[in-house]
A and B are shown apart, each in its own frame.
Chain A
């Protein structure tokens, strides 16, 4: 190991590249983040909790949480189905379907929000059919879930797909030879193998949905206590020039995202071990 370190050090540019990397990261990330944390600590505990635990804010966190969970779960269902169909079956338009899965990655969220807002609106192609069913497509929680589903769909498909591709179908054949029916094989053999990747995909989709703002701005109508999500609380504070409130809520959301990042890394390492 020592030997490799030595030979690798022979390549030039260590100080230059590492120095630039650290400088860039400091200017872009670390300094603004510490500024926010320090400004936040200046608010004091009472002020911090007053803003973070405001009833309107709590309602927004709840909606963010529930809507993101719902969207991620629905994506697990449909995303796994799409991944399955793409990997296992041949049909006309398969390449197109595979390419389409990337659309939510590539489409700016403002465009997604604008289009979904129109499509599910009262006069929209889908929205007009929802009204007789008593569902408001926009300015509603339904609309929030739809938008969150749209932006987080690729995560599930793209996490499950490669695992399914490398799956040995011999195992399924063996199960079939031993007399297991197709459904039984799926639930007892295939699903347990896919589970780690499905969980990872779920976690990624959930994290993505939780931070989403752009598309929601177009479909939720930001009705307090009803369709407002956590990032919109932040915007509301800023609009009222209540910087302290914005910083308090931003700090809270930052802590939450670190917790989620940690959890996802744990799940990932667990999934890797499971797979090996």
Chain B
């Protein structure tokens, strides 16, 4: 979804073009097929999800949410997100600055490395961490000596989540900063601003929407990750984040509770989509108002951008 801050739904051609449009009938058939597909495939799962969650009434719903293990899972998820999001935001800004403001050897390789998590199955990520931190892993003996636990505990889950979510901020910022060019920053420097001042007062305001969008994506993914975290968790109730707790409840045949807890994540997803829509409209309005024309696109060096820009397996 890189650069999707700028993606908008262009108005369809309302003007009928001679010979370049299907007959009204064909149009409606195609629209109906698409609508039925989307309805069955995307809407029905959402509806049934909330139906199952609230089926037993609000009391049972809140009882499922307030039981101790659920509260623990919420605490785990929030802890993971609170640690992962700032770290990856820092990384994203540093990587975008280095990659878009300077030329150096190995730049293409670095760009590829940043996309790596999009290519690797999250389950494999978990095994990597076990190979490093597990009892039989590289650092295993040292960790045991110092009585430290990384995998099958919270630190492992944080590391796994960092791995699967670190490209999101960087991938939003890189195309944006690339297209903006460095003229305003150079000007600020010439006028005597320090490096940090340039970043805070010139760069940051012009990338804030892309940054915010990257943060939203990172948060959503960090809270929803399943595969990588599943591998490095000890799977003990009360010591797992929300997605794993949903799986645990479901495996215990406590389906209704599982749906109630899952609805938290579904609300998160819907919130993400709404925030995204709001950001897009804000961005467009600012762009229309001309606030975004701080610099004409100067350096579109034709950087290859892999299309691995969206969510990844889990």
Q: Which of B46-54, B61-69, B204-212, B284-292 is the contact stretch?
A: B46-54
Whether the pair A172, B20 counts as a contact (CB closer than 8 A) is yes
Interface size on A, residues (CB 8 A): 115
Q: Which of B93-124 contact A (CB under 8 A)?
A: 93-95, 97-99, 101-104, 110, 113-114, 116-117, 119-124
Question: Would B128 and A8 count as touching, CB distance under 8 A?
Answer: no
CB-CB < 8 A to B114: which residues of A? Answer: 25
Given contacts A25-B113, A173-B19, A247-B127, contact A108 B224 (CB under 8 A): yes
Of chain A, the residue at the smallest CB distance from B46 is: A103
Per the CB 8 Å criterion, the residue count for chain B at the interface is 116
* A32 contacts B128, C-beta separation under 8 Å: yes
Residues of B within 8 A of A269 (CB): 304
Compute how far the CA of A14 lies from the CA of B33 in the bound complex, rounded to whole angstroms. Answer: 53
| Any B CB within 8 A of the CB of A195 | no
Q: In the assembled complex, how far is the CB of residue A83 from the closest CB belonging to chain B, in whole angstroms? A: 9
Q: Total contacts A to B, CB within 8 angstroms?
A: 339
Asked if A9 is at the interface of the complex by the 8 Å CB criterion, the answer is: yes
B265 touches A110 (CB 8 A): yes
Contact B101 A214 (CB under 8 A): no
Tell me if A99 and B273 are in contact (CB < 8 A): yes
User: In this assembly, does B295 line the interface, its C-beta being within 8 Å of a C-beta of chain A?
Assistant: no
Tell me whether B46 and A254 are in contact (CB under 8 A).
no
Report Cα–Cα, A100/B97, bound state, in Å. 34
Given A103-B46, A119-B44: A211 touches B120 (CB 8 Å cut-off): yes
Q: How distant is B249 from chain A, measured CB to nearest CB, in Å?
A: 9
The residue that A257 contacts in the complex, of B19, B91, B119, with Cβ under 8 A, is B119
Q: Which of B9, B49, B258, B265 contacts A86 (CB 8 A)?
A: B9
Q: Provide the bound-state CA to CA distance between A88 and B268, in Å.
A: 31
User: Does A217 belong to the interface (CB within 8 Å)?
Assistant: yes
Does B79 touch A at the CB level, under 8 Å?
no
Does B186 sit at the interface, judged by CB under 8 A? Answer: yes
The residues of A that contact B231 with a CB separation of less than 8 Å are 234-235, 238
What are the interface flags for A197-214 relative to B under an 8 Å C-beta threshold, 1 for contact and 0 otherwise?
000100010011111111
Which residue of A is nearest B259, CB measured?
Answer: A114
Scan B58-77; emit 1 where CB is below 8 A from any A CB, else 0.
00000000000000000000
A111 to B314 CA separation, bound complex (whole angstroms): 12
**Residues of chain B within 8 A of A94, CB atoms compared:** 9, 12
- The 3 A-B pairs at the shortest CB distance, nearest first, are namely A176-B19, A108-B224, A211-B313
